[in-house]
Structure 1
Amino acid sequence: MQTRQRIGPRRLDRSRVGSGRPRPRLRADYGIPQARRLVLFAALHGEVKMPAKTHSKVDYPSVADAVSELRPLAAGETDPNDPLHCTYNLGDLNSARAKSALPGGTWADWPQELRLARHNKASGSRYGSVYGRMDPKAPAPTMRTQFFNIGTGRFVHPTQHRGPSLREGALLQTFPVDYQFVRPGEEISFRRQGRQIGNAVPPVLGQSSVGPF
């Protein structure tokens, strides 16, 4: 009767493993119009090289580069020709906050009556980017799963008084302008499609990363 050989845990041969601290790079280094830093990890045999940068500070893609060709919308409006180009509705107070937001600014630019109670506390400085307006000439902040909501970060549209549409968020994640996230006739959900877009690996980053490996 044949018996199976039990194999115990092996020690990691560190002489074959690269060392050193990871070196974060900006997503904008790879043509993604976001200022988020990233670290790539790879476990492969042989030498591993970081993907070569495709952009530098002089030609980082900006928010305007990504979204300026889309139809202007008001808060709560949908483009009749593109159901994904839809925007989250705003109440009167948040609408006033959006109108008072300056590109790259903070809530400190608002008049006192628009500020939240936490802004008047010493800890309020920690919320500097919330309700801020994106700078059209710079990369966007990190596209999170609730990027469409101006109360979750610096997500006021650079020139319009609202948050990004789902389509604009997808463009800032480098999806093609005609990419469909739902089947024909399926209802679009801010929460569901926001997660799809915000949690996605930007296609351009995937293309840049796979090549060297």
Structure 2
Amino acid sequence: MSIRAVDLFCGAGGLTYGLQEAGIDVRAGFDIESECRYPYEENNDSVEFIEADLSSEVSAKDIQSHFSGDGFDHTLLAGCAPCQPYSTMSNGNENHADNHEKWGLMDEFADLIGEVEPDLVTMENVPQVQKHEPYDEFCSQLENLGYFIWDAVVECPNYGVPQQRKRLVLLASKYGHIELQDPTHDREKVTVKSEFEQYDLAELEAGETSDADFLHNARGLSDKNIERIKHSEPGGTWENWPEKLKLACHKKDSGRKYISSYGRMEWNEPAPTITTRFYNYGSGRFGHPEEDRAISVREGSILQTFPRDYSFVESEEELSVVSVGKLIGNAVPVRLAKAVGESLVQHVENEGPQKRLKKTA
């Protein structure tokens, strides 16, 4: 039984790639960001990228056109609505989060689900989304449409993602009870070392780029930051630095909150959550475990479990570390996406249209 899918808010293609790895036929990805086109189409076979604003330029008809034809039994609408409201919330303005304009994209997603009525739905987002009314309304809309819903906060190392990352995963089905498969990996064995040692990554100094892979590059560091990283132990903090190397903000009480900034990763632990600025030594615990530099763009991609050769730009001349960092940091980790896809495939094999259930009022 085959599943045909459309990926909304598709980004660089992490979710699509994982779904395809699970055997799902993804036909199209929609996103407003033009820089997503190249990596999305280059790395995902026979998938069309559509640059469009889901809040105003995408209709149910646009999506349904990719569900036409023969050769499939089930339809899936997948998406990860942007989570910008939480940058506001993290600054202490939680009341504003419920009114943030980006919440409208979750509403648009729900409206499209209501118009298209796919057999299956999946969404991935930050865990905090569960605390807010727009998410409750999203789930209520799906329930009113007859979907059975499963959602939970997932610890990514349990599914082979070497990051201390937690994500909300939602699965919904018209066929009956659905849930994410049991963990696929022993989290104790999912580490920075277990991931990096699979690849022949060149050693780099700060500011260097590998001759073999222009995405394996390390941003330059000031002389003072070189001294700081040399005094940083894996898993340690800036509190271990000599006093002369500490920043003024570190000496304030408010600076204690940012204990992981300017830190090194540990070989035998998962990495921190890969953010859109993982290439910047001062943005978190993004120092290489051993080399005196921040992790490279390629290393960030690997920690997001993209394949070693995933292509984000066509040439070195087109590389913007800031832009590619955003694509990588915003992506659904590929192995988590594959686990979602495998769960959906197993579900339709077990339930199938012949067992289609309808909720009673």
Same fold (TM over 0.5): yes
Q: For residues 108-147 of structure 1, what are the structure 2 equivalents within 5 Å?
A: 108-147=239-278
Instruction: Using the TM superposition, give the Cα deviation of residue 57 of structure 1 relative to its aligned residue in structure 2, in angstroms.
Output: 3.4
Q: Which amino acid aligns with 2:265?
A: M
Instruction: Using the TM superposition, give the Cα deviation of residue 156 of structure 1 relative to its aligned residue in structure 2, in angstroms.
Output: 0.5
2:179 match: 49
Instruction: Using the TM superposition, give the Cα deviation of residue 122 of structure 1 relative to its aligned residue in structure 2, in angstroms.
Output: 1.5
CA distance in 1, matches of 2:236, 2:303: 20
* Counterpart pick for 2:282 among 144, 151, 168: 151
* Counterpart pick for 2:191 among 62, 66, 91: 62
* Counterpart pick for 2:310 among 174, 179, 189: 179
CA distance in 2, matches of 1:186, 1:47: 49
Q: Percent identity?
A: 41
Instruction: Using the TM superposition, give the Cα deviation of residue 125 of structure 1 relative to its aligned residue in structure 2, in angstroms.
Output: 1.4
Cα deviation digits, residues 48-95 of structure 1 (max 9, x gap): 212221113332x11112224311000000001111111111011111
* Structure 1 unaligned blocks of 5 or more: 1-10
Cα deviation digits, residues 131-175 of structure 1 (max 9, x gap): 011011000001111100011000000000100101100110111
CA distance in 1, matches of 2:148, 2:255: 42
User: Which structure exhibits the higher relative contact order, with contacts defined as CA atoms closer than 8 Å and separated by 6 or more residues?
Assistant: 1
TM-score normalised per structure 1 = 0.87
CA separation of 1:174 and 1:19: change in aligned 2, threshold 3 A: closer
1:5 match: none
CA contact (8 A) 2:155 2:165 kept: yes
Q: 2:159 aligned with 1:30, yes or no?
A: yes
CA contact (8 A) 2:191 2:271 kept: yes
* Structure 2 unaligned blocks of 5 or more: 1-139, 345-361
Cα deviation digits, residues 23-71 of structure 1 (max 9, x gap): 4221100001101112201232221212221113332x11112224311
CA distance in 1, matches of 2:252, 2:315: 48
Instruction: Using the TM superposition, give the Cα deviation of residue 18 of structure 1 relative to its aligned residue in structure 2, in angstroms.
Output: 6.2
1:189 match: 320
CA distance in 2, matches of 1:91, 1:186: 24
CA separation of 1:132 and 1:184: change in aligned 2, threshold 3 A: closer
Instruction: Using the TM superposition, give the Cα deviation of residue 124 of structure 1 relative to its aligned residue in structure 2, in angstroms.
Output: 2.0
CA distance in 1, matches of 2:298, 2:187: 26
> 30-39 or 65-74: which moved more?
65-74
2:63 match: none
What is the root-mean-square deviation in Å for CA atoms of aligned residues? 2.1
CA distance in 2, matches of 1:64, 1:125: 29
CA distance in 2, matches of 1:203, 1:25: 14
* Counterpart pick for 1:39 among 165, 168, 177: 168
